[in-house]
Homo-oligomer: A and B are copies of this chain.
Amino acid sequence: MLKGNAIIGQSGGPTSVINSSLCGVIQACAKYPEAIEKIYGMRYGIEGFMQEMLIDLGAERAEIVEGLKSTPSSALGSCRHKLQDADFPVVLELFKKYNIRYYFLIGGNDTMDTIHRIEKYCREQGYDLIGVGIPKTVDNDLFATDHTPGFGSAARYVALSVMQAGMLARDMKKVDQFVVFQTVGRSAGWLPAAAACAKRSEDDAPHIILVPERPFDTDKFLAEAKEAYEKYGWVSVVCGEGVCFADGTPISATSVNDRFGNKEFGAMGGTSAAMVLHQLLSKTFGWRGEFQVTESLQMSGADRAMPNDIEEAYACGARAVELAVEGTSGVMVTIQRESNSPYTWSLGTAPLKEVALGEKPMPDEFICEDRSFVTEACLEYLRPLVGELPTYVRFEG
């Protein structure tokens, strides 16, 4: 059994439950004193680590570690650093300096790649190291796992938001005719899809769901919006931030007012997909409406976190440590769905190289063929993750 110190880092965008994974790792490490002596944390992920920004997690008070389960965002700080060739020797030197033998990163597909490459490099350099990845992302786009910790809570945030704003949009339809809600998640439509859970009756929000897996078709969108307006008197649109035209250009890069020919404004980050859709609907139909860009609020809305999500995130962290002290290296912990009703799950593993970098899109059977919405199969997948939504009343008379 490899004996030494452990280090844990959080990487990429946070979620409402990534700290629960961190808690799982810290508390599990304490159970294996014969293998793990100290547990360090990387401040600001690998970027901070390379500047020797470490924290002794064993010295933190137990209440603080426990409090991680209900604290959003990344308590260690995070980064989005892409490893350069020059980084590897720096990392190895620090591993040697701090006698790091167990290496954990909590993150998405880029992070799994980071662990993979570092673990490989250390082995090639003759340094014994065990590296295990703990999944994380609101985007739900990691391969090999049924879903990712962080997704369920963000999905719930989206579903609640679309549901509530939909109530308001319907009640205010004599004043405003549409609402557009934008989700995070560049390439995958899992979060926009989650909004579908909000719909109980045909006229409920959302009416149109735009996912990045399908090219945006302006005419189709306008036709669907017009149809919804004619049926219901108002329109609810949910749009992933990464939705693109067929040629791959993000719709967020559009300047609706073509007179300017100014691509700089659109691409500066000062526009967004929801705003472009807002302008399109306003200009085409003369409607009034609003766009809602909540951004990282979806990733940190911890009061809306799903208890299951918190539990699974914790379990992934704890399992990573178990695997590591058993000698398993080069894997990511995965979640397997055992049953849907009731919802039960178990943990597995996948080799890091299978999950590194790849972005898992929504399968075709989850996306409607004929209209901008998701299928019942998709809803069955989503419901246990999003959880029960509140019951709101409507008058019957």
* Interface positions of A (Cβ within 8 A of B): 10, 13-14, 41, 44, 47-48, 55-57, 59-61, 63-64, 67-68, 70-80, 160-161, 164-165, 167-175, 179, 256-257, 260, 262, 265, 268-271, 275, 278-279, 282, 288, 290-297, 299-304, 390-397
Q: Which residue of B lies closest to A278 (CB)?
A: B270
Quote the shortest CB–CB distance from A282 to chain B (angstroms). Answer: 7
- Copies of this chain present in the complex amount to 2
> Which residues from B are CB-within-8-Å of A296?
165, 168-169, 172, 179, 290, 292
Q: Which residue of B lies closest to A45 (CB)?
A: B174
Instruction: Please report the C-alpha to C-alpha distance between residue A161 and residue B171 in the assembled complex, in whole angstroms.
Output: 25
> Which residues from B are CB-within-8-Å of A300?
164-165, 167-168
> Which residues from B are CB-within-8-Å of A262?
257, 260
Quote the shortest CB–CB distance from A110 to chain B (angstroms). Answer: 12
Taking A13-B172, A67-B391, A77-B173 as known contacts, 19 extra A-B pairs with beta carbons closer than 8 A to each other, sorted by chain A number, are A10-B171, A44-B174, A56-B397, A57-B397, A67-B393, A72-B392, A73-B164, A73-B171, A73-B172, A74-B171, A75-B394, A75-B395, A160-B301, A165-B296, A168-B299, A168-B300, A256-B270, A292-B293, A303-B303
Please tell me if the beta carbons of A302 and B390 are within 8 angstroms of each other in the complex.
yes
Please tell me if the beta carbons of B294 and A292 are within 8 angstroms of each other in the complex.
yes
Instruction: Please report the C-alpha to C-alpha distance between residue A256 and residue B269 in the assembled complex, in whole angstroms.
Output: 13
Knowing A160-B303, A395-B75, say if A269 contacts B282 (CB, 8 Å): yes
Please tell me if the beta carbons of A297 and B294 are within 8 angstroms of each other in the complex.
yes
Please tell me if the beta carbons of A392 and B67 are within 8 angstroms of each other in the complex.
yes
Instruction: Please report the C-alpha to C-alpha distance between residue A270 and residue B268 in the assembled complex, in whole angstroms.
Output: 16
Q: Which 9 A-B pairs have the closest CB atoms?
A: A67-B393, A164-B300, A73-B167, A71-B392, A73-B168, A74-B171, A168-B300, A55-B397, A290-B295
> Which residues from B are CB-within-8-Å of A73?
164, 167-168, 170-172
Please tell me if the beta carbons of B55 and A395 are within 8 angstroms of each other in the complex.
yes
The 6 listed contacts between A and B (C-beta, < 8 Å) are A13-B172, A73-B164, A80-B175, A165-B295, A165-B297, A290-B295
